[in-house]
Structure 1
Amino acid sequence: MLMLVDCSNCRTPLQLPPGARSIRCAICQAITRVADPRSLPPPLPTQPYATSSSHNYAPPPPAPSPYDRLSSFGQTPPVNGRKKAVICGISYRRTKHELKGCINDAKCMKYLLINKFKFPESSILMLTEEETDPYRIPTKHNIRMAMFWLVQGCQAGDSLVFHFSGHGSQQRNYTGDEIDGFDETLCPLDFETQGMIVDDEINATIVKPIPHGVKLHAIIDACHSGTMLDLPFLCRMDRTGRYVWEDHSPQSGMFKGTNGGEVISFSGCDDDQSSADTASLSKVTSTGAMTFSFIQAIERGHGTTYGDMLTSMRTTIRKNESDVGGGAVTSLLGMLLTGGSLGGGLRQEPQLTASEPFDVYTKRFSL
């Protein structure tokens, strides 16, 4: 059983292997040491539960922990072929950063995973401002813990999904592992006070631990999201109109791959671009342009291979199609998608990155 401890320097949650007494943080490189429970003195007696005439003392019940709550999310039998997902939609309501379509994105993605790809609802962790559980509000801490939950205990045959719809940004990189000199970042609900989640941490948390036989897909609908997972390979279209892989491995030699598993990410735009909401003809609701095009490609049968998916998504956004078409998602989500259209003038191009290159024209897409 892995134990979660906070880094002594940057407070990033870390997974302490069984029997280990120290661990080095992948983000700040600080070493956190944990005392051996066997060397600790016995606990001091606390206030008794019995009457004052009794001398039987008992420790108070432990306070509930966010770690305990997260470990109970989506528990399914430990068999091969499990499916787990973290879906995060942040609207930043009543702030100058407010977005209109992100929570709709989260609802649409959840419906898609359950009804199209047979993800158990109990294995999907939703983080939105609409949640009543305080541990499901998309704060920086909760998103971090949700990412740990997603990969914890994964084994060969498992399929994992991480979806984020919200603000993305960039900050100056000082370690030399970014070609453009900037780290990409996700903005949690409390980013103005708690800071952003940097791509280095995302890579260390949900990319590097993925073991052989496990597949993780990330769908990131945010600005500056092209390389949000810091994956080493980026799919580009060459002058002949064919997709080719660019090697974006850090010049420093820093490892950005997995522990043998496969990670593939679809993102809303290139690192230097912004993502947009769709406009709604009914003026009632909207969705993110990237999530819209992702779902539409699947519902219209355009997602046979990864190349088909990428082409369909890019075509949808370029042509600004004015209808969302038929399909299970449209028919049952009703107001979430009915009448939706893409607004004109979008300047974004969905991106595909991966832990290892593959033939996008023959590899079949599935979640």
Structure 2
Amino acid sequence: MARKKALIIGINYTGSDHELNGCINDAMNVRDFLVNDRGFSADGGDIVIMTDAPENEGTPFYPTTANMLAAFKWLSSRNRPGDIVWLSYSGHGGQVKDEEGERASGFDDTICPVDFEESGQITSDTLHRAIVSPMHPEARLTILFDCCHSGSACELPFVFRPDADGNVTMMDTVKKGVELVRAAQGLLEGGFTMDKAADAKMLLGGATDFFHSLRYGGGEEGGADDEGLAEENFEEDWENEGKDVWMFSGCRDDQTSADTSIAGAATGAMSWAFMKTMRDDPGQSYLNILQNTREELVNKYSQVPQLSCGGRYDLDQPLNVS
């Protein structure tokens, strides 16, 4: 019989300079959603909740780096065909220098355990190796990350990005290169000098390098393909791992996720929007959930939620966590 198991993490960093308000609430809301709406067992052997609530300090449920890595190992091991696996994280996300030179941005996305100032942040490639790579290829893992810089937090090879209308777009990145071209053109207006020409050449060279560095390909020219998927290129051959993994993240890599208050309760904006979307219509497809979550956020928050996949999967199939 297929098993359901879940790891839910919420960190408020209470008493620190980095304190948040809604992340433990997010964890409790996710737990209630899985148990009450999706049939997960509340048994401690099937669902693990890690928060920095005072009663958890000194226990395996306190979200230190060591405890989180151990929990990831529990989550991704001994899975069987048909198992339904869930991971959610609400807390700080960050970026550190990409020491391996794989990322065009020069940075790796990270998440921040409660002791990150002493033990360091957990990088996106570490998350992939700890969570995604060990997964049974016939078990489905759904991930919800509500944190800053979370777009590529688990380095899944295919990324689906909606615009304000729910359509896939690469314009957010393309515009950066276009702006460099326009700056070069504007520099030469009003008279030509050698200094201006040198500066314009530098800007145009930067634009050319920028466009060549776009690491999203749905074909030779890059960009999204006909299925609305943009491909992330990493040094590892993660595109061919064939892991059935789906990740909803609260924003693009270059954005922050809001810690806010809704109906008088502290919450992460992405967690609230995702849960509302799921409860409004439990039978929605992955694509519909992404579009409707974006619709919930678009009028109040600048963050753009994303859906990343471990393969070229049918985005029109219903989300499977039950």
- When the two structures are superposed, what TM-score results if normalisation uses the length of structure 1? 0.67
Residues 233, 353 of structure 1: 8 Å contact kept:
yes
Q: Separation in 1 of the partners of 2:237 and 2:13?
A: 34
Flag the structure with larger Rg. Answer: 1
Q: Is residue 249 of structure 1 aligned with residue 233 of structure 2?
A: yes
CA deviation digits over 1:305-364, x for unaligned, max 9? 1111001111101134xxxxxxxxxxxxxxxxxxxxxxxxx220111101112232x211
Question: What amino acid maps onto 1:301 in structure 2?
Answer: D
Q: Is residue 357 of structure 1 aligned with residue 318 of structure 2?
A: no
Determine helix, strand or coil for the equivalent of 1:269.
Answer: coil
Partner residue, 1:167? 92
CA deviation digits over 1:273-326, x for unaligned, max 9? 0001222453xx311000000100011117511111001111101134xxxxxx
Partner residue, 2:195? none
Cα displacement (A) at 1:84: 0.6
Partner residue, 1:127? 50
- Counterparts of 1:131-150 in structure 2 under 5 Å? 131-132=55-56, 134-150=59-75
Partner residue, 2:284? 304
Determine helix, strand or coil for the equivalent of 1:110.
Answer: helix
Q: Which runs of 5+ in 2 are unaligned?
A: 169-227
Q: Separation in 2 of the partners of 1:303 and 1:166?
A: 28
Residues 86, 163 of structure 1: 8 Å contact kept:
yes
Q: Separation in 1 of the partners of 2:249 and 2:134?
A: 21
Q: Is residue 315 of structure 1 aligned with residue 295 of structure 2?
A: yes
Partner residue, 1:92? 13
Provide the aligned C-alpha RMSD in A.
1.9
Rate the CA distance shift 1:119–1:258 in 2: closer, same or farther, 3 A: farther
Q: Separation in 2 of the partners of 1:186 and 1:159?
A: 23
Match of 2:247 among 226, 246, 265: 265
Cα displacement (A) at 1:175: 1.4
Q: Separation in 2 of the partners of 1:241 and 1:303?
A: 18
- Counterparts of 1:1-367 in structure 2 under 5 Å? 80-122=1-43, 123-130=46-53, 131-132=55-56, 134-237=59-162, 242-243=167-168, 244-250=228-234, 252=235, 254-257=236-239, 259-282=241-264, 285-301=265-281, 304-320=284-300, 346-360=301-315, 362-367=316-321
Q: Which runs of 5+ in 1 are unaligned?
A: 1-79, 321-345
Return 204-213 or 262-271, whichever deviates more: 204-213
Q: Separation in 1 of the partners of 2:281 and 2:152?
A: 27
Partner residue, 2:171? none
CA deviation digits over 1:146-173, x for unaligned, max 9? 0000011111011111100000000111
Return 106-115 or 231-240, whichever deviates more: 231-240
CA deviation digits over 1:236-288, x for unaligned, max 9? 348996441111022x4x12257543011000100000001222453xx3110
Rate the CA distance shift 1:241–1:295 in 2: closer, same or farther, 3 A: closer
Determine helix, strand or coil for the equivalent of 1:134.
Answer: coil
Task: Work out the percentage of aligned pairs sharing the same amino acid.
Answer: 35
